[in-house]
Chain A
Amino acid sequence: MTQKVKVAITVNGTLYEREVEPRLLLSDFIRHDLGLKGTHVGCEHGLCGACTVLIDGQTARSCTLFTVMVDGSDIKTVESLGTMEEMHPIQEAFSEVHALQCGFCTPGFLMTTVEFLEGNPNPTAKEAREAIDGNFCRCTGYENIVEAVQLAAKKMAAH
Chain B
Amino acid sequence: MAEKYVGKSIKRNEDRRLLTGNSTFIDDINLPGMLHVAIKRSDFAHAKINKIDVEKAKALPGVVAVYTADDLGDYWRPGPLQVPPPSVIKGAIFNARPLECIAKNKIRFSGEPVAVVVAEDRYIAEDALDLIDLDVEILPYVGDLEKTVAPDAPLIHEDLESNLAADVVQEVGSWEKAVAEADVVVKKRLLVNRVAGAALENRGIVVNWDANLNLLTVWATTQGPIPMRNSIAKYLGLLENQVRLINPAIGGGFGPKIMSSQIDDVVIPWIAMKLKRPIKWVEDRRENFLGTTSERDQLHYAEIALKKDGTILGVKDVFYHNTGAYNPYGMTVPLNTQAHTVSNYRVPNFLTEIKMVFTNQMVVTPVRGAGRPQGVFVMERLLDAAAEELGMDKAEIRRINLLQPEDFPLRSGIIGQDFVEGVLDSGNYPYALEQTLEKIEYEKFKKEIQPKARAEGKYKGIGIAMFTEGTAVGPYEGCKVMVGVTGKVSVVTAYSNQGQGHYTTFAQIAADNLGVKVTDVDVVTGDSGQWSWGVGAFASRGITLVGTAIHNASLKVREKALNLASKLLETPVDELEMEDSVVRVADIPEKFISLGDLAMRSNPTRGTVEPGMEPGLEAASYYGPPHGATGFGSLGMIVEVDPETGKINIERIVITDDCGQPVNPMVVDGQIHGGLQMGIGEAFYENLVYDDYGQLVTASFMDYLFPQATDMPDKFEIIHSQTKSPLNPLGIKGVGEAGAIAPPACMMQAFEDALGLKDMFITESSINPSKLYHYVQKAKGA
Residues of A in contact with B (beta carbons under 8 Å apart): 1, 21, 23-24, 31-32, 36-45, 47-48, 50, 77-79, 81-84, 87, 91, 94-96, 98, 100-107, 110, 125, 129-130, 132-146
Contacts and interface: CB of A to CB of B under 8 A. Distances in A.
B589 interface: no
B383 interface: no
B22 A38 contact: yes
The 5 closest A-B pairs by CB, nearest first: A38-B21, A102-B499, A104-B251, A103-B18, A141-B673
A20 to B, nearest CB: 11
B709 A95 contact: no
B700 interface: yes
Nearest to B197: A138
A48 B706 CA distance: 9
B200 A100 contact: no
Given A32-B30, A84-B17, 7 more contacts: A42-B202, A101-B252, A103-B249, A105-B200, A125-B714, A139-B499, A141-B716
A63 B140 CA distance: 38
B200 A78 contact: no
A91 B20 contact: yes
Instruction: Give the one of A24, A78, A82, A136 with max B CB within 10 A.
Output: A136
A51 to B, nearest CB: 11
B20 A84 contact: yes
Nearest to A147: B715
B714 to A, nearest CB: 7
Nearest to B123: A23
A12 B469 CA distance: 47
A140 B199 CA distance: 12
Contact of B201 (A24, A38, A40, A91): A40
A139 B12 CA distance: 15
Interface string B711-723: 0101110000000
B216 interface: no
A23 B561 CA distance: 60
B710 A44 contact: no
A41 B27 contact: yes
A132 B20 CA distance: 19
Given A103-B499, A138-B199, A133 B16 contact: no
Nearest to A25: B123
B129 to A, nearest CB: 15
B702 interface: yes
Given A78-B21, A144-B670, A98 B200 contact: no
B200 A136 contact: yes
Contacts of B198: 138
A52 to B, nearest CB: 12
A157 B172 CA distance: 63
Contact of A98 (B12, B202, B677, B715): B12
Nearest to A82: B20
B652 interface: no
A50 B19 contact: no
B716 A143 contact: yes
A134 B569 CA distance: 61
Given A38-B21, A45-B700, A78-B21, A129 B710 contact: yes
A42 B286 CA distance: 11
Interface string B57-86: 000010000000000000000000000000
Contacts of B341: none
Contacts of A81: 20
Nearest to A91: B19
Contacts of A87: 16, 19-20
B250 interface: yes
A44 B285 contact: yes
A138 B254 contact: yes
A95 B12 contact: yes
Contacts of B499: 100-104, 139
B322 interface: no
B11 interface: yes
A84 B22 contact: yes
A79 to B, nearest CB: 5
Contacts of B710: 129-130, 133
10 contacts: A37-B27, A38-B21, A39-B21, A42-B201, A47-B706, A78-B20, A91-B16, A95-B11, A101-B674, A146-B709
Contacts of B715: 143
A98 B716 CA distance: 14
Instruction: Give the one of B23, B200, B673, B677 with max A CB within 10 A.
Output: B200
Contacts of B657: none
Contacts of B674: 101, 138-141
B176 interface: no
Contacts of A135: 709
A54 to B, nearest CB: 14
Contacts of B87: none
B21 A107 contact: yes
B17 A137 contact: no
A142 B707 CA distance: 10
A107 B28 CA distance: 14
B412 interface: no
Instruction: Give the one of A130, A138, A145 with max B CB within 10 A.
Output: A138
B30 A102 contact: no
B498 interface: yes
A31 B28 CA distance: 8
B25 interface: yes
A94 B15 contact: yes
A69 to B, nearest CB: 17
B15 A100 contact: yes
A46 to B, nearest CB: 9
B597 interface: no
Nearest to B673: A141
B251 A96 contact: no
A91 B15 CA distance: 9
A102 B252 contact: yes
A47 B708 CA distance: 11
Given A31-B27, A95-B15, A144 B673 contact: yes
B14 interface: yes
A75 B686 CA distance: 34
B181 interface: no
Contacts of A142: 673, 677, 708-709, 712
B21 A102 contact: no
B484 to A, nearest CB: 21
A91 to B, nearest CB: 4
A48 B284 CA distance: 13
Nearest to B251: A104
B252 A138 contact: yes
B546 interface: no
Contacts of A78: 20-21
A95 B501 CA distance: 12
B284 A98 contact: no
Contacts of B702: 45, 47
Nearest to A146: B709
A82 B15 CA distance: 13
Nearest to B714: A125
Contact of A37 (B12, B18, B21): B21
B38 interface: no
A98 B667 contact: yes
A95 to B, nearest CB: 4
A74 B4 CA distance: 48
Contact of B200 (A38, A50, A94, A125): A50
Instruction: Give the one of A36, A37, A139 with max B CB within 10 A.
Output: A139
Contacts of A102: 18, 199-201, 249-252, 498-499
Contacts of A107: 21
Given A1-B61, A37-B28, A132-B709, A103 B20 contact: no
